[in-house]
Amino acid sequence: MSFGKITHTPVGLADVLCDEYELKLRIENTACTVFKDYGYRMVQIPTFEYFDVYNVTTPTQAEHMFKFFDNDGRMLALRPDLTTSVARMAATKPAAGKLPLRISYCGSAFRNEENFSQARQREFTQVGVELIGDNSVNADAEIIQIAIETFLKSGIKNFQIDLGQVEFFKGLVEQTGLSDSESDLIRSHINDKDFIAVQSVLDNLNINSNMKSMFQNLATMFGGIEIVDKALCDNDLNQRSKDALKNLKDVYSILVEKDLDKYVSIDLGMVQNIDYYTGIIIRGFTYGVGFPICSGGRYDNLLAKFGRDIPATGIAIGVERVMASIYDENNDSDKEISSSEYVTVALAKGRLAELSVDIFEKIGFDVNQIKEKTRKLIFTDEENKLKFILVKASDVPTYVEYGAADIGIVGKDTLLENNKNLYEVLDLGFGKCKMAVAGPKEMKDRIDKQNIMRVASKYPRIAREYFHKVKGQTVDIIKLNGSVELGPLVGLSDVIVDIVESGKTLKENGLDVLEKICDLSARLVVNRVSMKLKRDKIVDIIQKMKGEINC
């Protein structure tokens, strides 16, 4: 037996020590007290259920569930969230009570995630409420009010609740007659604020120019309630989309009456999980945490899957993420001010940084410090409240994802290989090259016929995605850190996957480009939370860069 396996927790799990647990317990107790004050009653649900319970409601989560079998061979799964089990209970247990039901919970959930941090573990705690049997705007507003009050009483000073409406997007899809596959593709890109991919999809769709413009703008339609007012002025919208906007405005009006609108923002491009949600979508964000601290919304179709067709709305709060935010505030009382005042830019060291600095200079920022020969890694434009940090290229997506940087400039190859959870908003047009399969000339005719091959690459994820998912071939991926051209020359591999600019290095080593995988260039990426909390500053930078590129 390995000694390490009995002295360490499994990857993605953590012990919670005394001081940490006291804070965790305080947050949980605060939340439960708020829930009780609003008339919600606690329930306890199983830690695991039949796999089908979760798969029938959220099949996209199947690959991230912890699954196992009981003694009778039936597949079980640890709960990936608590809402599904609460819905099953409310639909199947008459003793749950008369409608509307106000149910609250506190417990662990489990997801087999790949990336871990203090605020993103495989086991995490959720506290939340579900309001079942009430389809009114007052019910949605109540859920949002509970989330706001919980954050304030937990000690979070600066946060923002984003509201979306999935029916608005569904109305646009209905109006344009998009297929399910087209709708899902464009929805995914809009939700990711991937302006480049949205435009690419739209270019291939046969829909009128006004609707193309609406889909294109959807990724940028976030901010104040004026976003809704402006959208309502579009006479080309169908009734379904208009009703969705009016619903969103009605909920917002209730929050205004309660003086809570200062915590609320609108994002019509927030369109994830549209098969699950049926109306309002809610996401909460704060400084110091690179992920939402709460999520929820209206899910009127969920209980029908368990035999009882009644509406419902609710929200789940991530306790560890709230803890991370409070730690961030407590560790540096000035950090909150600093975080909100400055936009931090992560630049990849080397040639890409030089090109990036040039474009920042052209759009009016002071980059004199960074142009000096120095070993410094942090540079500040005090007048424009912009901070630059120089990091290794492969680390740029990590700094941006976790909120250490608000925006970053990095090559598309690094983004594809890292697969981080961030917004890719702009193709900057420089650093152009391509990712390609290369090898000896004789492999040209064999590459599609030889099913088992060895592929050497600095980019194992890109290579695996291309051969396994695009080409459907079985290949052995060999990770190398340099001089991948040597692979085929010494018999280590049959082909390589690498970046190709001029192709000169390949030719000098007797290799040819066999297949192009994709085009590459420098991209502007944005942290998902920063895009919400620093919207005006970041959108201003994006627009200025876009203007410079188009000159």
Domain shared by 15 and 106, yes or no: yes
What CATH number does the domain containing 35 carry?
3.30.930.10
What CATH number does the domain containing 536 carry?
3.40.190.10
Whole-angstrom distance, CA of residue 329 vs CA of residue 254: 30
What pTM was estimated for this model as a whole?
0.84
Supply φ then ψ for residue 37, to 5 degrees: -60, -25
Q: Are strands 75-78 and 67-69 parallel, antiparallel or unpaired?
A: antiparallel
Domain shared by 406 and 472, yes or no: no
Q: Of the candidates 33, 10, 60, 21, which has an alpha carbon nearest to the alpha carbon of residue 152?
A: 33
Domain shared by 82 and 17, yes or no: yes
Three-class DSSP category at 70: coil
Decide if 298 is inside a domain.
Answer: no
Decide if 4 is inside a domain.
Answer: no
Domain shared by 57 and 114, yes or no: yes
Decide if 3 is inside a domain.
Answer: no
pLDDT in tens, the chain (551 residues): 455 577 888 888 889 999 999 999 999 999 999 999 999 999 999 999 999 999 888 777 778 899 999 999 999 999 999 999 999 999 998 766 789 999 999 999 999 876 655 556 899 999 999 999 999 999 999 999 999 999 999 999 889 999 999 999 999 999 999 888 888 888 888 888 887 788 888 888 888 888 888 888 888 888 899 999 999 988 889 999 999 999 999 999 999 999 999 999 999 988 877 778 999 999 999 877 778 899 999 999 999 999 999 999 999 999 999 998 888 766 655 444 455 689 999 999 888 889 999 999 999 999 888 888 788 889 998 999 999 999 999 999 999 988 889 999 999 999 999 888 888 889 999 989 999 999 999 888 888 777 778 999 999 999 999 998 888 888 899 999 988 999 999 999 999 999 999 888 899 999 999 999 999 999 999 998 888 888 889 989 999 998 888 87
Domain shared by 240 and 326, yes or no: no
Domain shared by 489 and 396, yes or no: no
Last residue of a domain, one of 314, 336, 358: 336
Last residue of a domain, one of 315, 336, 357: 336
Q: Of the candidates 61, 71, 106, which has an alpha carbon nearest to the alpha carbon of residue 317?
A: 106
**E strand map for 8-56:** 41-42, 48-50
Domain shared by 469 and 383, yes or no: no
Decide if 300 is inside a domain.
Answer: no
Domain shared by 403 and 545, yes or no: yes
**Exposure string over 200-231, b if 16+ CB within 10 A, otherwise e:** ebbeeeebeeebbebbbbbbbbbbebebbeeb
Decide if 6 is inside a domain.
Answer: no
Decide if 294 is inside a domain.
Answer: no
Domain shared by 139 and 182, yes or no: no
Residue 439: CB partners within 8 Å, gap ≥ 6? 447, 488, 494, 495, 496, 511, 512, 514
Tell me which residue range forms the domain holding 425: 342-430+524-550
Decide if 278 is inside a domain.
Answer: yes
Domain shared by 48 and 100, yes or no: yes
Decide if 297 is inside a domain.
Answer: no
Q: Cα angle at 523 between 345 and 435, to 5 degrees?
A: 135
Domain shared by 55 and 91, yes or no: yes
Domain shared by 25 and 142, yes or no: yes
Q: What's the structural domain count of the chain?
A: 4
